[in-house]
Amino acid sequence: MTRTDLLPSAAARHLLLNMTPNGSLGRDGKKLFVVERGDGAYVVDADGRRHIDGLSGLYCCQLGYSYAPEFAEAAERQLRELCFSPLWSSSAHPTGIELAERLSRLAPVDVEHTFFSGGGAEAVETAWKIARKYHTLRGEPGRVKALSRRGAYHGLTLGALSFTDDPGLKEPYGPPAVETRFVSNTNRFGLAPEFADDATYTAHLLAELEAEILAEGPETIAMLIAEPVQNRGGCITPPDGYWPGLRALADRYGFLLVADEVITAFGRLGEWFGGDRYGARPDMVTVAKGITAGYAPMGATLVSTRITEVINQPGVVLNHGYTFAGHPLSAAIALRSLEIMERDRILESVRDLQDHLAKRMGSLTALPIVGDVRGAGFFYALELVGDLDDGGFSDTARAALVVDLIPRRLREAGLLARVYNRDAPLVQIAPPLISDRQLLDRIADIIADTLDEASRALPAH
Ligand SMILES: Cc1ncc(COP(=O)(O)O)c(C=O)c1O
């Protein structure tokens, strides 16, 4: 037996996977999918099979897997110079400073400062603490609540979990750390089909939000957190005017607006920051994942001058931190990734190809099992409709199609995509931003063939 053959059973014995029924992997770990290598937009599993990485790892690998020599060179140079030094207690290192400066040039207007962390959830918790600090320093310590949106995912650490709307993930861990109210997301298809045009839909959503703010007491709200395109629930795009409307409400009622761009930043939507597509003018932006294109772990919270003018008063301590925040290695990798993205015109390529992908994905609505197609840039989801009169799935159709046929056929055809078995099942893609037209076509073809077969297998009703 080779080492590779032994990996699944070693994992079953020793590794606790995230968000996984670890006990169902079996003693020999047979159900485990072991990814051994990557090249270009592909990954290769332990059996030597190549798969299109239709999810960029987990929305991380903007540049795919073939830039290793350049990143290795950047990493080696950094490690030889300085392997570690914290951004802590009036101490900093050049690479962290350079990255913060670089980010300020890409970030939305008024965003000049960055607080680094190790990943998305830490970036979100940082935003919360900075919001609290800001309000307290301004004499409003009673702003203790957050607003988030239904179905949203903002991370799993105990603080970030407060803003995540999923009872199954939260309830086992007791009351949330932050009192949070959830308002509608912008999924018109599933939840508000009666609003045909953007103007009335936006007005409706903002009126609901304003009513919630007034019911809670505006003086109790510290921040609202939202993704430019909400991942959970399936690439939910905002209607026109929604983000400017959020800005107006934040200004009227004095809370801070946080754009969670852990997925949508660094080109996923064809912009450095996805919110730029929708006229978002957030007070803070949280990022992670694509900041290093997956070549190292990193998170960051970008903070506007309006906030730093308050929290950077002489003598005020920002009493929050992580040992590995802005680790020199991750910072060097992030800088190199930003350089590569500019040099190789990655955003331009997404912009050139996004209409083509939109057209290919949009055409799938012709299939009976596809109810809605949503997304932007290189980030798309298909919401599936089933055999029941209300569009839902019977237990048998769900088991046969959503749990079995669709994921199996996608995998057999060599595509890693996400299939969510939720109330409204979804198929989602977020391919590496280096994908060319031919690869996007291949992805769309595989999904079309799979969902065509699933449509034909859908029981008549
Ligand atoms: C929008 C959003 N925010 C926060 C997080 C948490 O990031 P991490 O897993 O790096 O803690 C995620 C993770 O998927 C996310 O999608």
Give domain status of residue 22, yes or no. Answer: no
Percent with pLDDT over 90 in the chain: 92
Same domain, 295 and 388: no
Which residue type occupies 291? I
| Res. 1: pLDDT tops 80 | no
| DSSP 8-state code for residue 222 | E
Same domain, 313 and 411: no
Same domain, 190 and 275: yes
Predicted model pTM: 0.98
Q: How far, in Å, are 77, 108, 328 from residue 265 at the CA level?
A: 27, 11, 21
| DSSP 3-state of 83 | coil
Distance 67 CA to ligand 1 centre (A): 24
Helices (H), 54-138: 56-59, 68-81, 94-106, 120-137
| Res. 213: pLDDT tops 80 | yes
Same domain, 94 and 49: no
- Give pLDDT tens digits for 141-182: 999 999 999 999 999 999 999 999 999 999 999 999 999 999
Q: Are 95 and 332 a contacting pair, CB within 8 Å?
A: yes
Same domain, 331 and 258: yes
- Give pLDDT tens digits for 71-120: 999 999 999 999 999 999 999 999 999 999 999 999 987 999 999 999 99
Same domain, 107 and 240: yes
Same domain, 308 and 378: no
pLDDT tier for residue 404 given thresholds of 50, 70 and 90:
very high
Distance 30 CA to ligand 1 centre (A): 28
Domain end, chosen from 343, 376, 409, is at 343
- Give pLDDT tens digits for 333-384: 999 999 999 999 999 999 999 999 999 999 999 999 999 999 999 999 999 9
Mean pLDDT of the chain: 96
Same domain, 419 and 282: no
Which token pair is 63?
């540049």
Structural domains of the chain, count? 2
Q: Which atom of ligand 1 is nearest to the CA of 261?
A: 1
Domain CATH code at residue 43:
3.90.1150.10
Same domain, 106 and 248: yes
| DSSP 8-state code for residue 230 | B
| Res. 183: pLDDT tops 80 | yes
Q: What is the pLDDT of residue 459?
A: 82
Query: Which protein residues are within 6 Å of ligand 1, measured from CB?
Result: 119-121, 124, 153-155, 227, 231, 260, 262-263, 288
Q: What is the pLDDT of residue 30?
A: 80
The arithmetic mean of pLDDT across residues 315-337, rounded, is: 97
Same domain, 270 and 375: no
Give domain status of residue 7, yes or no. Answer: no
Closest CA to 34 of 47, 18, 21: 47
How far is the C-alpha of 438 from the C-alpha of 355, rounded, in Å? 14
Q: For residue 57, what are the domain limits? A: 33-66+345-457
Q: What is the pLDDT of residue 461?
A: 62
Give domain status of residue 11, yes or no. Answer: no
Domain end, chosen from 317, 343, 369, is at 343
| DSSP 3-state of 438 | helix
Q: Are 119 and 297 a contacting pair, CB within 8 Å?
A: yes
- Give pLDDT tens digits for 261-298: 999 999 999 999 999 999 999 999 999 999 999 999 99
Looking at the DSSP bridge assignments, the partners of residue 301 are: 115, 286
256-260 and 284-287 strand pairing: parallel
